Structure 1
């Protein structure tokens, strides 16, 4: 409960606000648990798609031999790629040649003397998938971005990197609703369309908060998938606000980075 108490205390005195109860803290905690479940379900759909797309495009370009995805020459030479490549190749080498915790990897080693990337990706975390996407050459990135309907490959890389971080928050049971990410998503057409306020040149929300993840999901999920996700999200937020008024809608939406018009 420690992560939720602060929302019911005076920030200057750390004394609980008048009328605050343990039930208020519990209600906020339970809201966050439900929010994590809804977000994680949507994030796993994106994760599955990006695994498949990444493996397909890499193998289409370089073949299925593990020697290819372990070869630094099959990756970009940009600063971002060089930054992640050493650890990425070490991780891929471990999966391809040493990992004994996944039976399907051992099977492919024994039966085919090879662990193709479309098998290896299943043993990779979302964060590792994100790093591999960063390391790919522009041609493969562009083809993957096109699969998601995203015109800019760099935009897709930023989207996936942010979602990987939020996936960790959800999977590890950390407080989600007020989380702020250390990586921001790029400005999108949705930021402008929603009329999000700007503070100087920067949007006031939808960049490093939970709303940034929701905007990203709007781009990366199919329309029907996002419609289902949004319905669950609206029900979750409305349900909490109708159950407990201790925080209030304005303060809750501010903590989540949601605009007043977020449902649009």
Structure 2
């Protein structure tokens, strides 16, 4: 059946029938400005009464519209905060990779397949031709990005291409997505991965996972997706997790039956751990203080659910703030 258009008044009546307190006169203006789907469907889950057995869903007794909206606004602030520090890490990683690669292979040799690792690892389950095809796809994506930047008259890209006939990697890297940089690093030969990882005190397998996870969360920030309870899922089924590291033990995070920490693997706390590993101390401390400030502000707006309920959805252990002093 087609989904029929609902007026704001219809939407408010529906919320009222489901037990949501919509007595605040500002509800209508919020729904007009923010969109019913974004606020309600995106953030209602914690407020729904799971014991209700009727045909339609019901909100927990006493749930107020402003609680949902506060969670929505909290999520927006969380995205903005995390995006700032993801971009800081992205800039550092791009600089390190472009410098190391250019020093070894020249500033214009990032399209040569021979400068990447073409050997097939036993766990990759692909042929030699497929492996080279993957690398060729990477270089093709880079070429397409150069073309896009030229079509947009990007000043730096246009200058180097028109003057020298190529774009140095340290210039081009600024326009490449984090996803492309992630793939670029994953296809480097082992020694190059090691050399880059050493600058960040990370092993290649740690670095590869971190880049993939950062890409997922960065994209969510860029597209204004629901963020606070986002899980890094690969191919819509398999979780994409960072490597377990000493921080998980120092935080005394419990483990599941498979031996994996229950927090900080493929959730928002994994991003906190990544920040701890890569950001400078003052940047990390600033990040933690900002998150705590907004969690405290949210706590003052909640009555039907607790801050702990939100923290569990975020993948934050109860002692999450202790990571600042580790």
TM-score (norm 1): 0.94
Q: Pairwise mapping of residues 67-86 of structure 1 onto structure 2 (< 5 A)?
A: 68-77=109-118, 78-79=120-121, 82=131, 84-86=134-136
CA deviation digits over 1:211-260, x for unaligned, max 9?
Answer: 01111111011111111111111111111112323320221111011111
2:287 equivalent among 202, 226, 229: 229
Matches within 5 A, 1:94-133: 94-96=144-146, 99-101=150-152, 102-133=154-185
Q: Give the distance between the partners of 1:172 and 1:155, measured in 2 at CA.
A: 26
Q: Which residue of 1 aligns with 2:318?
A: 260
Aligned-partner Cα distance in 2 for 1:71–1:108:
19
1:199 aligns with 2:251: no
Report whether the alignment pairs 1:134 with 2:173: no
CA distance, structure 1, for counterparts of residue 166 and residue 308 of structure 2: 55
Equivalent residue number for residue 216 of structure 1: 274
CA distance in 2, matches of 1:199, 1:222: 31
Bigger helix fraction: 1
**Greater relative contact order (Cα 8 A, min sep 6): structure 1 or 2?**
1
1:84 Cα deviation after fit:
4.2
Q: Report the alpha carbon displacement of residue 12 of structure 1 after superposing the two structures with TM.
A: 5.7
Correspondence for 2:46:
7
- Number of residue pairs matched by the alignment: 261
- Larger Cα-atom Rg: 2
CA–CA distance in structure 1, aligned partners of residues 227 and 147 of structure 2? 36
CA deviation string 1:41-80 (max 9, x = no partner):
1101001001101100110110112xx1111110012456
Distance 1:28 1:96, change over 3 A: closer
**How far apart in 2 are the matches of 1:256 and 1:84?**
34
Task: Name the structure 1 match of 2:71.
Answer: 28
Q: Which residues of 2 match residues 147-162 of structure 1 at below 5 A?
A: 147-150=199-202, 152-162=203-213
- Cα distance in 2 between the residues matched to 1:241 and 1:146: 40
- Report the counterpart of residue 243 of structure 1 in structure 2: 301
Residue 164 of structure 1: CA displacement? 1.0
TM-score relative to the length of structure 2 = 0.76
Structure 1 unaligned blocks of 5 or more: none
Q: 2:138 aligns with which of 88, 91, 100?
A: 88
> What does residue 37 of structure 1 align with?
80
